Chains A and B, each alone.
Chain A
């Protein structure tokens, strides 16, 4: 009886484990192997083992180093603002007002829109000649001349960050709203009787109560935003002058150019970079939980 019980859980997880092995670990191992090879399909006859050369080349590559720093900024500002505005939206949607159901549904639109469509849509919104954003800003007399948002380096990267923020706000709002609805109203009532201000209730009741959801949602978005290609690629393809090229876009461009060995080496660097962020993040979360 004891023996049966010990095998049963393994049998239950076996199909899922097998699928994960096939769709994740086999390609990952293959990518790791390719990263040690001169795996360029444009020159298939030259494919050979080259050790750590792809990694050395990456760290000597100015584009790679710039892309790493740009990815860090992309994640910090992208996820940071998504969280801030998502939290504000969740607090609004958690309060009672007329038409709340409609607002909740409409606020999800950016999240359910495909990234490719978002990229194309915002590309035309930002267009320096016929874009609606320039038109609105000029009608409001905020600017006098049209701004070529995606065509000049100082504005291109902030512009794509605004787009990814717009896309990600509903996800944070949705997750945090679900968590907010689980916070007991008794605590707020008690705090109110004790004379706690709105701000004190926010920092001493609301945020500690939904802390775990914030951690998990933040973790997911850090990984997704760092890996995202669709929005940037459809808006700028990493340009102009590489000014919006994050590491994932650079990897995509190199893989598209069929230099799979170099692209794999950079992808492994990205995965390691994410682990460097994710592991301490999880440790911190568990430490507090303990």
Chain B
């Protein structure tokens, strides 16, 4: 009887240990797959890179003879964009004349988890050939030899000059090697300030701010108690304190003359202090510490905020709701001027067996009919000069604000620390600063250390 009890005890403890240990299995399994896959992918990459170099001159010959299928993975922000992408794919498949069939597979953006999921999939041996892209993911994939160097393909491209050289430079910088380009430009989104002309009028503002200082003043003026009950009904600015908020925040840092390279400089700290002051003085909604994309857009669309920062991706819906009572201006200049250039590109994976055919597809998206269809359909800023010169882009007030901001638009430094910095360190550190746990200087020191470690 005693022996049976002891056996039961041992079994129970072992079962409990197994259950507790299940917390470890996720890390363990992904690591195993990753290690094995990394070795395989590394071997494949070397072979694929050599093959690509050898095959480039024969590109035309090869693609015209063989019927090939390219597996293309993309995300779409809504169902309209999803249908649009399928239309572009259909058009390319029927008109390319080279026997290339693109098979589009949509995956959710999932607040940026798209890139992590794609990374896990590629490390696990996924057969995706081409994917839509964000520059911030580039170091991770390049460090694991997952991307194909597109330099020889771009150099041989007949429409190369249709894209500005500085855009190519940004693409090259992202890979950490200025002689190699792993990323093909597709479209950009320049952040600008949305505002409600009717609220500006109520606040006694006659024209949009021309300087950073005027912008801060206008935020204060637009914070209104419209019904006289002593409570704020309209906040001057919709601040994004959750993930993704680093982009508008960067404009404040640069507005005071700061920079991402030295976040601890007096100017950068002053920019952070401006950001904190807007929160603590009640010029932004009290939910700002956790407001993400959905919240800032919902707050602006419900009339809770008078201004917010986003790009043309949301302009269609804004116009639908407000008609003429919504407009935009580029983020104004202070001691410095910067706005975020949201980027979307395409990449070809080194595991792709038909890189020439895959490049035909990404070229179609960058400078062909695919570029025109996508940018006109989504309201994104085209990278193709020819497409950008069209009437649609020249006569749209939101597009104009984007194009006006293009000259000083930039991106966050692309480092292997950037993804974690954006998704975890920035929102939590800024929330600590907004709620008074740490000073602006302390917050900037933490952000500097996290980004540049």
Question: Which residues of A are interface residues toward B (Cβ below 8 A)?
Answer: 20, 23-24, 26-32, 34, 39, 41-45, 127-130, 145-146, 148, 150-153, 156, 219, 223, 226-227, 236-242, 245, 248, 251, 253, 255-260, 263-264, 267-268, 270-271, 274-275, 278-279, 282-283, 286, 290
**B13 and A279 form a contact (CB under 8 A):** yes
Chain B residues with CB below 8 A from A257, complex form: 419-420, 423-424
**B25 and A34 form a contact (CB under 8 A):** no
**B16 and A219 form a contact (CB under 8 A):** yes
**B13 and A43 form a contact (CB under 8 A):** no
**A153 and B416 form a contact (CB under 8 A):** no
Main SS class of interface, A: helix
Chain A proximity mask over B274-316: 1 for CB below 8 Å, otherwise 0: 0000000000011111110001001100101000000000000
> How far does the Cβ of B436 sit from chain A's closest Cβ, in whole Å?
10
Supposing A219-B16, A255-B30 touch, asked if A239 and B431 sit within 8 A by C-beta, the answer is: yes
> How far does the Cβ of A156 sit from chain B's closest Cβ, in whole Å?
8
Once A and B bind, how many residue pairs between them come within 8 Å at the CB atom?
180
Chain A proximity mask over B132-143: 1 for CB below 8 Å, otherwise 0: 000000011001
> How far does the Cβ of B396 sit from chain A's closest Cβ, in whole Å?
30
**A151 and B12 form a contact (CB under 8 A):** no
What would 5 A/B residue contacts be, using CB atoms closer than 8 Å? A41-B38, A42-B143, A226-B23, A237-B243, A238-B428
Chain A residues with CB below 8 A from B432, complex form: 241-242
> How far does the Cβ of A245 sit from chain B's closest Cβ, in whole Å?
8
**A44 and B38 form a contact (CB under 8 A):** yes
> How far does the Cβ of B139 sit from chain A's closest Cβ, in whole Å?
7
Supposing A239-B242, A282-B16 touch, asked if A129 and B287 sit within 8 A by C-beta, the answer is: yes
A15–B192 Cα distance when bound, in Å, is 61
Chain A residues with CB below 8 A from B286, complex form: 128, 146, 148, 151-152
Chain A residues with CB below 8 A from B428, complex form: 238-242, 245
**B287 and A128 form a contact (CB under 8 A):** yes
Chain B residues with CB below 8 A from A270, complex form: 23
Contact of B25 among A31, A45, A145, A226 (CB under 8 A): A31
Chain A residues with CB below 8 A from B8, complex form: 286
**A275 and B289 form a contact (CB under 8 A):** no
Chain B residue with the shortest CB-CB distance to A34: B31
Contact of A44 among B25, B116, B143, B437 (CB under 8 A): B143
**B25 and A129 form a contact (CB under 8 A):** no
> How far does the Cβ of A127 sit from chain B's closest Cβ, in whole Å?
7
Supposing A227-B23, A240-B431, A278-B20 touch, asked if A129 and B285 sit within 8 A by C-beta, the answer is: yes
A128–B287 Cα distance when bound, in Å, is 6
Chain A proximity mask over B230-256: 1 for CB below 8 Å, otherwise 0: 010000000001110000000000000
